[in-house]
Amino acid sequence: MEFSLISLIIFVIVGFLVLSILLYLINAKSRRINQYALALAKLKRSFNELDEQAKLIVQTDLELNKAQEESDKRLNSLEALHKISRLISTTLDESEIFHRLDQAFSTDIDFERGVVLILDDKKQLQIQVKHGYSQDGANFMLNQLQKDNNLMQALMEGNTFSSANCPLQRRETIKQIFNTGHFVIAPILTQVGFIGVVFVGNQSNVSPITDGDEELISILASQIGQTLENARLFEEVYKSSQALESKVTERTKQLQDALVEVQNISKTKSDFISAVSHELRTPLTSIKGYAAILMDGKLGDIPPQVKERLGKINTHSDNLVGLINDLLDISRIESGRVEMSFGRCRLDSLIENVHDLLTPQMRDKNIDWQTDLDASMPDMFLDSSQIERVFINLVGNAIKFTPIKGTITVSAHLKDNVMQVQVTDTGIGIPEEDIRRLFDEFYRVENEINQNVKGTGLGLPLAKKLVEAHGGEMWITSVVKEGTTFHFTLPVKTEEDILREREEREKAQKK
C-alpha cells in the first residue's frame, strides 16, 4: 500500500515534470511561430511595396518615353523653324520669300497640307503658297474662308486655333473649310495689323496635333509677318530713294540749265556795262577837258558864278568817271578779263599807307585808329594797288558810318597760311536783312547818313570781287547801333603759286 502510494506520488511528480516540460516546449514553439508570422507579414508588406515601385517605374518609363518623343518632335520642329526663318529672312524680295516657303513646306514642315494666304492691295486674301491642295481645292477653300466672317474676324483679332484646343463648333467649321481633320491656323500680323493666314494640317491622325505644334505655327506666322514687313519697308525705301535720285538728277539738270542761263545773262550784262561805260567815258573826258579850259580862262575871263558852276561840273564829272571805272572793273573781273599785277608786298605797310591817306577824314570826326597785327608779317604776293582799294573802301565806309569819337580797328592775323583781316568800327551797324544784299551792285541801306551822303553802292561788290580774285573770301558781321566788322581772307601765296594759277586759268579759258 505504502509502495503504491510512493509510486503514485512519484508518478504524479514525474507527470507534473513532464507536463511542465511539455508546457514549456509548447510555449517556446508558439513564440517562435508568432515571430515567423510577424516576419511573414513584414515580408508581404515589402513585397507589396516592391510591386508598387515596379509599377511606378514602368509608368515613369512610359511617361519618359513619351516626353522624349515629344521633345524630339519639338526639337525637330524648332530646327525646321530655325531653318525656314533663316531661309526667308535672307531675302528682301517678296516673291522669293513665298518661293522659299513653298520649298520649306515640301522639305521641312512635317504636315500633309499647308497654305499661306496674304491680303492683296484690295484687302482680299490671295494664295501665295499651297502644299497638298489642288488648285481647285485651294480656290474652294479660299472662297469658303472669305465667306466665314466670324472666323475671319477671330483671325484678324490675332487668335490662333488648333484641332487640339479649339471649341467644337469652330473645329468643325475649320475642318470643313480646309477639308482637313487635324490642323493649326494662325494669323500673320505686322505693325500695321493683320496681313494674312498660315494653315497647316493632317488628314490622317498619324501624329496628333499638340500644343507645341500650335505654338510653333504661330511663331512661323509671326516670322513670315516680320520678313514680309521688312521686304515691304525695303521696297518702299528703295522706291523712294529711286524717286529721290531721279528728282535730284532732274533738279541738277534744271540748276545746270539755270546756271548756264545766269552765266549768259551775266555775260550780256557785263558786255553791256562795259560797252556803255566805254561810250560814256569819252564824252565825259571831253566835258571835263572843256570845263578845265573854261576854268583856266583860256577862252577869256569868266564871271565867278560861272567858275563856281564849272567847278561843280568838274566834281560831278570826277564822280561819274569814278563810277564808270568801278563798273568797268566789276565787269572786267566778272568776265575774267582783269589783269592783276601781282608783286611782293607787306600788308602792315599797305595798311599804314591807307591810314596816312585817310587820316584827314578821321581827324575831322575825331575817330581813333587802332591796329592789331601779327608781330611778324610774312611777305605776300598781291596786287597791292587793288588790295589798297579794298582797304580804302572798307575804312572809308567805316569813317562814313561811324559817329564822331568812334574807333576803327584793323586787325590781321595769319592762320593756316591764310591772312585773316578785319576792319571793325563802332558805327551805326547794319540791319540783318540788309547784310545779305550788301554785296549786290548798287545796293545801299536806307538810313539817315545815306540820305545825305552820295554813294554808288558799287564799292562793296567791287571790294569783294577783288578779294575773290586773290583767292579770298569776304563777309560781314554787324550789330545795329554797336558797329560793323568786315572780314576778309587772303591766302599767302608764292610767286610760283600765282604763275601756276594763271596757267590753269588760261587753260580753262581756252577750253
d(CA 113, CA 200): 6
Stretch that binds ligand ADP, among 137-145, 212-220, 268-276, 456-464 (CB under 6 A): 456-464
Minimum distance between the CB of residue 376 and ligand ADP, rounded to whole angstroms? Answer: 29
Residue carrying the nine cell digits 500500500: 1
Minimum distance between the CB of residue 380 and ligand ADP, rounded to whole angstroms? Answer: 24
Q: What spatial distance separates the first Cα and last Cα of the chain, rounded to whole Å?
A: 180
Tell me the DSSP string of 435-492: HTTTTSTT----SHHHHHS---S-HHHHHHHHHHHTT--EEEEEETTTEEEEEEEEE-
Minimum distance between the CB of residue 467 and ligand ADP, rounded to whole angstroms? Answer: 14
d(CA 141, CA 125): 11
By rule CB under 6 A, what string of x and - marks binding of each residue 374-393 to ligand ADP? Answer: -------------------x
Q: Closer CB to ligand ADP, residue 113 or residue 444?
A: 444
Q: What DSSP element (H or E) covers 301?
A: none
Contacts of 463 by beta carbon, 8 Å cutoff, 6+ apart: 389, 390, 393, 394, 474, 488
Residue 430 sits in the site that holds ligand ADP (CB under 6 A): yes
Residue 445 sits in the site that holds ligand ADP (CB under 6 A): yes
Choose, by CB under 6 A, the member of 160, 162, 397, 426 that binds ligand ADP.
397
Q: Closer CB to ligand ADP, residue 389 or residue 444?
A: 444
Burial class of residue 490 (count of CB atoms within 10 Å of its CB; 0-12, 13-18, 19+): buried
Q: Closer CB to ligand ADP, residue 138 or residue 430?
A: 430
Minimum distance between the CB of residue 364 and ligand ADP, rounded to whole angstroms? Answer: 17
Stretch that binds ligand ADP, among 112-120, 134-142, 336-344, 438-446 (CB under 6 A): 438-446
CB 166 within 8 A of CB 150: no
Residue 491 sits in the site that holds ligand ADP (CB under 6 A): no
Minimum distance between the CB of residue 269 and ligand ADP, rounded to whole angstroms? Answer: 18
Per-residue cell: 14: 514525474
In this structure, the dihedral spanned by the alpha carbons of residues 344, 347, 349 and 351, taken in order and rounded to 10 degrees, is 140
Minimum distance between the CB of residue 443 and ligand ADP, rounded to whole angstroms? Answer: 6
Minimum distance between the CB of residue 438 and ligand ADP, rounded to whole angstroms? Answer: 5
Question: How long, in residues, is the chain?
Answer: 511
Choose, by CB under 6 A, the member of 114, 132, 201, 427 that binds ligand ADP.
427
**Measured in whole angstroms, how far is the alpha carbon of residue 192 from the centre of its chain?**
23
Minimum distance between the CB of residue 459 and ligand ADP, rounded to whole angstroms? Answer: 3
Residues near ligand ADP (CB under 6 A), total: 19
Choose, by CB under 6 A, the member of 438, 466, 467, 498 that binds ligand ADP.
438
Stretch that binds ligand ADP, among 71-79, 85-93, 234-242, 395-403 (CB under 6 A): 395-403
Residue 460 sits in the site that holds ligand ADP (CB under 6 A): yes
Which residues 466-485 are close enough to bind ligand ADP by CB under 6 A?
A: 484
Q: Closer CB to ligand ADP, residue 187 or residue 472?
A: 472
d(CA 104, CA 79): 12
Single-letter amino acid code for the residue at 7: S
Stretch that binds ligand ADP, among 222-230, 274-282, 336-344, 420-428 (CB under 6 A): 420-428
d(CA 379, CA 370): 22
Residue 181 sits in the site that holds ligand ADP (CB under 6 A): no
User: In this structure, what DSSP letter does residue 379 have?
Assistant: P
Find residue 373's DSSP bridge partners. 412
The sign of the dihedral angle between the CA atoms of 501, 505, 510, 511 is positive
Residue 408 sits in the site that holds ligand ADP (CB under 6 A): no
Where along the sequence are the contacts to ligand ADP (CB under 6 A)? 393, 397-398, 401, 425, 427-428, 430, 438, 444-445, 450, 455-460, 484
